[in-house]
Amino acid sequence: MSFPDGFLWGVAFAANQVEGGFDADGKGLSTADVVPFRDPNARNYTALEALMRASDEEIATARTVEGGSGYPKRYGVDFYHRYREDVDLFAELGITALRLSIAWTRIFPNGDDAEPNQAGLDFYRDLFTRLRERGIEPIVTLSHYEMPLALVADGRDGWADRSVIDLYTRYVDTVVRELHPLVTYWLTFNEINTTLLEPYTGGGVVTREGENTVQKAWQAVHHQYVASARAVRIIKDIDPQAQVGCMLARMLHYPATSAPGDVLAALEANDLNLLHTDVQVRGAYPTFTGRLWAEQGITVDMAPGDAEELAAGTVDFLSFSYYMSLVSAADPSQYGITGGNIFSSIRNPHLEVTDWGVHHDPVGLRIALRDMWDRYQVPLFVVENGLGAQDEVGPDGRVDDPYRIEYLRTHIAQIGEAIDDGVRVLGYTAWGGLDIIAASTSQMSKRYGLIYVDQDNEGNGTLSRTPKASFDWYQQVIAENGATL
């Protein structure tokens, strides 16, 4: 097992989960800023698609609330004001890449503003400069589960409205022109398949009475494909040396049994997951899409020239998240269900699960890497992988987290095996560096970080940062380029 010279070792997080400063320096409200906190004990982790939504009524209520109380993503972990010390900690960790996102509403607060917000551009320029000075490559996601709320509220349709393509590409053009000397790797959308799984989170599509939300979600994701293709061309025109990638929540499905019906169910689930990367890497919808839409009664409105745009705007590399594998069956009702990240699954009896029902399946990551390499033959990048857990602070003020070390160790080792198999992997960025506000649950107690942040679910705490035992372990892994795994 080996890792090549230049392999990018890093951590990852999203602006809406760390930055805070939701109303600072001209920032506008985003879709993430109106998703309220709910008691984790009252949540159904096998129905996560309902956890991240916001109705018109909830949005209207949230807009009347001043401050961040009840809306954890408004305050995050105050990275917006503490990024200098956090960058110093990341440099101490020894990472060579930080995958992060730009908050669209820091640049265009309402999405359709006449001019960009200079304070937002200045913030990211200083952040990226500091990273570069410390030898850390920014891996920048342009849209990560947040978009201007003004494009969603008051009856507007988010990404289901085709006009958002032009607003997004103007935003992309603006930030890339301003920041491209500091950035080599760009990702157009985070986990683009989430728009079908959870339309509000991924596409700003609000579920409304009398509307076909599934139809709107498919329309929204088509618009995102077109926008991604245009973004690729915009970025390449500005900086021909830039590398532009797509990003998928990889949902690897196994059949529950060797029964042909179960095998077919798993095949169809995997094909649906990879449909998104088929479009962005190959430049066209796969052939099964027509039957899929017909069976679901879906009609996607495509403008003249869309097919040509998709073909002309394919990505340079494929990045993805991997947390768990899933199981499919022709009749899933006969099996028990476990939870997960955004999606749930039939319980796999051969795998252990975390407190949140996530299957611990590091070999599945190797399988996913080999499968996608064989399918696409483009470089791959594991940009999200980590363990959410309830950490305990010890008497010495530190967190001893051998469970996180074991999770990361076993998954990173399988990346090394895939590289030895011949798969080209650009790097690995563990989720989430710092403890952050959880995407699916808006809680702080589901901790992913290598660095402990003193803050509870209600936002109380000093916000002090303390490296965990996993920080020291990962620091050594990076220093040795994975040689001792």
Residues near 172 by beta carbon (within 8 Å), at least 6 away in sequence: 142, 188, 230, 231, 234, 235
How far apart CA 173 and CA 423 sit, in angstroms, is: 32
pLDDT 10s digits, 98-109: 999 999 999 999
How far apart CA 65 and CA 34 sit, in angstroms, is: 9
- Residue 191 bears catalytic tag: yes
Query: Which amino acid, one-letter code, is at 65?
Result: V
Which member of 137, 191, 198, 417 is catalytic?
191
- Residue 406 bears catalytic tag: no
Decide if pLDDT at 296 tops 80. yes
Decide if pLDDT at 405 tops 70. yes
How far apart CA 326 and CA 341 sit, in angstroms, is: 11
- Which superfamily is assigned to 8-479 in CATH? Glycosidases (3.20.20.80)
pLDDT band at residue 343, thresholds of 50, 70 and 90? low
How far apart CA 199 and CA 214 sit, in angstroms, is: 8
Task: Scan for tokens 């319980």, then name that residue.
Answer: 347
Of the listed ranges 74-88, 166-180, 348-362, 440-454, the one predicted with least confidence: 348-362
Mean pLDDT of all residues belonging to the chain: 94
Rounded to a whole number, what is the distance in angstroms from the first to the last CA of the chain? Answer: 8
pLDDT score at 337: 64
Decide if pLDDT at 45 tops 50. no
Decide if pLDDT at 133 tops 50. yes
> 360 or 266: which carries more pLDDT confidence?
266
Share of the chain above pLDDT 90, in %: 87
> 356 or 468: which carries more pLDDT confidence?
468
Token readout for 114 is: 């006449």
Which member of 19, 198, 309, 384 is catalytic?
384
Phi and psi torsions of 417, nearest 5°: -65, -40
pLDDT band at residue 40, thresholds of 50, 70 and 90? low
pLDDT 10s digits, 219-249: 999 999 999 999 999 999 999 999 999 999 9
How far apart CA 424 and CA 8 sit, in angstroms, is: 12
Instruction: Give the three-state DSSP class for 344.
Output: coil
Decide if pLDDT at 457 tops 90. yes
pLDDT score at 440: 77
Contact 256, 351 (CB under 8 A): no
pLDDT 10s digits, 259-287: 999 999 999 999 999 999 999 999 999 99
Decide if pLDDT at 410 tops 50. yes
SS3 content of the chain, % helix, strand, coil (to 5): 45, 15, 45
Average pLDDT rounded to a whole number, residues 187-195: 98
pLDDT score at 79: 98
